[in-house]
Amino acid sequence: MHDSYFHRRHLGAFSSIGRGSPPLAERFFTYYGAVFADGALSVREKDLIALAVAHVVQCPYCIDAYTKGSLEAGADLDQMTEAVHVAAAVRAGSTLMYGMQMRTQAGQMQMGAPAPAPVDAYFDRGQVDALTALGDGARALAERQRAWDESVFADAALDTREKGLIALACAHAIQCPYSIDRAARSLKSQGVSLEEMTEAVHVATAIRGGASLVHGIQMLENVDSQDGVSA
């Protein structure tokens, strides 16, 4: 056992997670390898998507792995930084979208407060288009957030297609239906294929699964510690 939870050497021990169930580990790593093979999306695009998703799921091992992978696949620091900003914008935008629930509830409890009519479902598709209404509570902050969001998704070192695919993957990783709708609509309007979008979602799936499994090294250390094995 170590005094801290995260050590870079744990990443190199990733394959040892198969100790508890070799068949499951073998199937996962076979899937993982297939996800990151060249396909409708290039290896570079997949590694940039993985880097962004690694940040939204806050996996230090994945961040290390896909910083290295992105560089080796030909991405540069500008592209990688923009990918991380897309991840940040999706996470921030999702938080604000959920703020519509707060606004609706507050409107029901405060007489005269402007609010959309309450609906039974928490995840109402109309909330996506009503997001600008959150600016009524803090207009200056809302305007600055929108300006940041627009700059994040503008064509730059990464184009809008690449940023949209990163956003779609991050939206699935954080399970935000509003962000998924927004990203999918944008990509469809750009003519991005279903195959490309599906591969992006599989990257998010593989990173979520891989992040969970690599953190299993902590479980193994605990088991070994209790069994008297040197970790």
Residue 188 CA to residue 178 CA, distance in Å, equals 16
Residue 133 CA to residue 146 CA, distance in Å, equals 12
Q: For residue 114, what pLDDT is reported?
A: 54
In a 13 Å sphere around the CA of 206, the CA atoms on its Cβ side amount to: 25
Task: For 23-37, give one letter per residue: b (16+ CB within 10 A) or e.
Answer: eebeebbeebeebbe
Q: How far apart are the first and last CA of the chain?
A: 6
Query: Any idea which of 12-21, 84-93, 221-230 has the lowest mean pLDDT?
Result: 221-230
Compute the chain's Rg from CA coordinates. Answer: 20
Q: pLDDT tens digits for 162-216? A: 999 999 999 999 999 889 999 999 999 999 999 999 999 999 999 999 998 888 7
CB 61 within 8 A of CB 11: yes
Structural domains in the chain, sorted by start: 9-222 (1.20.1290.10)
Q: pLDDT tens digits for 113-168? A: 555 555 556 556 666 555 555 556 577 887 888 899 999 999 999 999 999 999 99
